[in-house]
Chains A and B, each alone.
Chain A
Amino acid sequence: MEVREILLGDEAVALGALHAGISGAFGYPGTPSTEMFEYVEPLAAEYGIHARWSANEKVAYEEALGMSFAGKRAIVSMKHVGLNVAADAFVNSGVTGVNGGLVLMVADDPGMHSSQNEQDSRFYAKFAAVPCYEPKNQQECYDMVREAFDVSERLRLPIVLRMVTRLAHSRADVVIGDRRPQNGLNPPTDKQQFTLLPTNARRNWAALVARQGEIIGESEASRFNRLELEGRDRKIGIIANGVACNYVREAFGGEVPHAMLSISRYPLPLGLIRKLIEACESIYVFEEGYPLIEEAIAGINGIGKPLHGRSDGTVPATGELTPAIAMDVFGIGRTGGIKSTLGHVPGRPPKLCQGCSHADSYTLIKEVLKDYPVKRTFSDIGCYTLGFYEPFDGVHSCVDMGASVSMAKGASHGGLFPVVATIGDSTFMHSGMTGLVGAARDNANMTLCILDNSSVAMTGTQETMATGDALYNVVRGLGVPEEHIKIINPLRNKMEQNAAILKAEVEYRGLSVIILRRICVQAARKARG
Chain B
Amino acid sequence: MKYDVILAGVGGQGILTIAYLLDNAAINRGLRFKQAEVHGMAQRGGAVYSHMRISDREIVSDIIPEGRADMVLSVEPLEIHRYLYMLSPEGVVVSNIAPVINIPDYPDQGVVLDALYNLPRPVALDAGAIATEAGVPKAENMAMAGAATAYMPFDLSDYEPIIRKLFERKGPEMVVANMKVLENGYRVGKFTRALLEAGLPGAVACRAVAMCRPDSLDVVHAPRVVELLRGQKVGEVLSKAREGLITLDDLIVELA
Interface residues of A (CB under 8 A from B): 4, 6, 31-32, 34-35, 113-114, 137, 166-167, 169-173, 243, 246-247, 249-251, 254, 322-324, 327, 334-342, 345-354, 356, 383, 386, 457-461, 522
B78 at the interface (CB under 8 A from A): yes
B82 at the interface (CB under 8 A from A): yes
A-B contact list, 14 entries, CB within 8 Å: A4-B27, A6-B27, A113-B38, A114-B41, A243-B61, A246-B60, A246-B61, A323-B65, A334-B65, A336-B87, A345-B81, A346-B103, A353-B44, A461-B42
B65 A341 Cβ-Cβ under 8 A: no
**Which B residue's beta carbon lies closest to that of A173?**
B27
A348 B61 Cβ-Cβ under 8 A: no
Q: Tell me which of A172, A350, A353, A354 contacts B34 (CB under 8 A).
A: A172
A351 to B45, CA, bound (A): 6
B32 at the interface (CB under 8 A from A): yes
Main secondary structure of the interface of A (DSSP, over half): loop
Q: Render B120-153 as a binary contact track against A, CB cut-off 8 A, 1 for contact.
A: 1000000000000000000000000000000000
Q: Tell me which of B10, B40, B41, B106 contacts A346 (CB under 8 A).
A: B106
| Most central of A34, A247, A339, A342 by chain B CB within 10 Å | A342
Seed contacts A172-B33, A340-B115, A342-B112; 5 additional CB < 8 Å A-B pairs: A169-B39, A170-B51, A172-B32, A254-B60, A337-B87
- Given A31-B39, A172-B34, A351-B102 in contact, is the A246-B62 Cβ separation under 8 Å? yes
A340 B103 Cβ-Cβ under 8 A: no
B245 at the interface (CB under 8 A from A): no
A166 to B37, CA, bound (A): 8
B40 A113 Cβ-Cβ under 8 A: yes
Q: Tell me which of A32, A171, A334 contacts B23 (CB under 8 A).
A: A171
Interface residue tally of chain B, by bracket? 35 or more
Q: Render B34-70 as a binary contact track against A, CB cut-off 8 A, 1 for contact.
A: 1111111111111100010000001111111111100
A169 B60 Cβ-Cβ under 8 A: no
A114 B45 Cβ-Cβ under 8 A: no
Residues on B with beta carbons closer than 8 Å to the beta carbon of A247: 61, 63
A35 to B40, CA, bound (A): 10
Residues on A with beta carbons closer than 8 Å to the beta carbon of B107: 342, 346
- Given A169-B37, A342-B107 in contact, is the A522-B42 Cβ separation under 8 Å? yes
Question: What is the distance, in angstroms, from A96's C-beta to the closest C-beta of chain B?
Answer: 33
Give the 5 A-B CB pairs with smallest separation, nearest first.
A336-B67, A31-B40, A350-B46, A170-B36, A250-B61
Residues on A with beta carbons closer than 8 Å to the beta carbon of B67: 324, 334-337
B34 A170 Cβ-Cβ under 8 A: yes
A345 B46 Cβ-Cβ under 8 A: no
**Which A residue's beta carbon lies closest to that of B68?**
A336
B11 at the interface (CB under 8 A from A): yes
B106 A243 Cβ-Cβ under 8 A: no
B214 at the interface (CB under 8 A from A): no
| Most central of B39, B103, B115 by chain A CB within 10 Å | B39
A345 to B68, CA, bound (A): 21
A171 B35 Cβ-Cβ under 8 A: yes
B235 at the interface (CB under 8 A from A): no
A458 to B39, CA, bound (A): 10
- Given A338-B120, A340-B115, A461-B42 in contact, is the A170-B62 Cβ separation under 8 Å? yes
Question: What is the distance, in angstroms, from A214's C-beta to the closest C-beta of chain B?
Answer: 33
Question: What is the distance, in angstroms, from A241's C-beta to the closest C-beta of chain B?
Answer: 15
**Which B residue's beta carbon lies closest to that of A164?**
B62
B106 A341 Cβ-Cβ under 8 A: no
A342 B39 Cβ-Cβ under 8 A: no
Residues on B with beta carbons closer than 8 Å to the beta carbon of A327: 65
Residues on B with beta carbons closer than 8 Å to the beta carbon of A353: 43-45
A281 to B2, CA, bound (A): 35
A250 to B102, CA, bound (A): 37
B243 at the interface (CB under 8 A from A): no
**Which B residue's beta carbon lies closest to that of A354?**
B44
Residues on B with beta carbons closer than 8 Å to the beta carbon of A459: 40, 42
**B residues 156-214 with Cβ under 8 Å of A?**
none
- Given A6-B24, A166-B63, A172-B33 in contact, is the A350-B103 Cβ separation under 8 Å? no
B39 A336 Cβ-Cβ under 8 A: no
A322 to B102, CA, bound (A): 30
Question: What is the distance, in angstroms, from B85's C-beta to the closest C-beta of chain A?
Answer: 4
B231 at the interface (CB under 8 A from A): no
B118 at the interface (CB under 8 A from A): yes
Q: Tell me which of B11, B85, B120 contacts A337 (CB under 8 A).
A: B85
A459 to B19, CA, bound (A): 21
Residues on A with beta carbons closer than 8 Å to the beta carbon of B34: 170-172
Question: What is the distance, in angstroms, from A187's C-beta to the closest C-beta of chain B?
Answer: 38
Question: What is the distance, in angstroms, from B190's C-beta to the closest C-beta of chain A?
Answer: 23
- Given A337-B66, A337-B85 in contact, is the A348-B42 Cβ separation under 8 Å? no
Residues on A with beta carbons closer than 8 Å to the beta carbon of B251: none
A338 to B88, CA, bound (A): 7
- Given A246-B60, A324-B65 in contact, is the A340-B84 Cβ separation under 8 Å? yes
Residues on B with beta carbons closer than 8 Å to the beta carbon of A347: 47, 103
Question: What is the distance, in angstroms, from B98's C-beta to the closest C-beta of chain A?
Answer: 15
A169 to B118, CA, bound (A): 34
Question: What is the distance, in angstroms, from A248's C-beta to the closest C-beta of chain B?
Answer: 9
B105 at the interface (CB under 8 A from A): yes
Residues on B with beta carbons closer than 8 Å to the beta carbon of A323: 61, 63-66
**Which B residue's beta carbon lies closest to that of A33?**
B40
A335 to B69, CA, bound (A): 12
Question: What is the distance, in angstroms, from B26's C-beta to the closest C-beta of chain A?
Answer: 9
B241 at the interface (CB under 8 A from A): no
**Which A residue's beta carbon lies closest to that of B39?**
A169
B18 at the interface (CB under 8 A from A): no
B86 at the interface (CB under 8 A from A): yes
Question: What is the distance, in angstroms, from B27's C-beta to the closest C-beta of chain A?
Answer: 6
- Given A166-B62, A337-B66, A353-B44 in contact, is the A172-B35 Cβ separation under 8 Å? yes
A246 to B66, CA, bound (A): 15
B119 at the interface (CB under 8 A from A): yes
B38 A351 Cβ-Cβ under 8 A: no
Q: Tell me which of B35, B45, B88 contacts A170 (CB under 8 A).
A: B35
**Which A residue's beta carbon lies closest to that of B11?**
A350
A131 to B177, CA, bound (A): 53
B223 at the interface (CB under 8 A from A): no
Residues on A with beta carbons closer than 8 Å to the beta carbon of B35: 170-172
Residues on A with beta carbons closer than 8 Å to the beta carbon of B115: 340-342
A250 B32 Cβ-Cβ under 8 A: no
Residues on A with beta carbons closer than 8 Å to the beta carbon of B86: 337
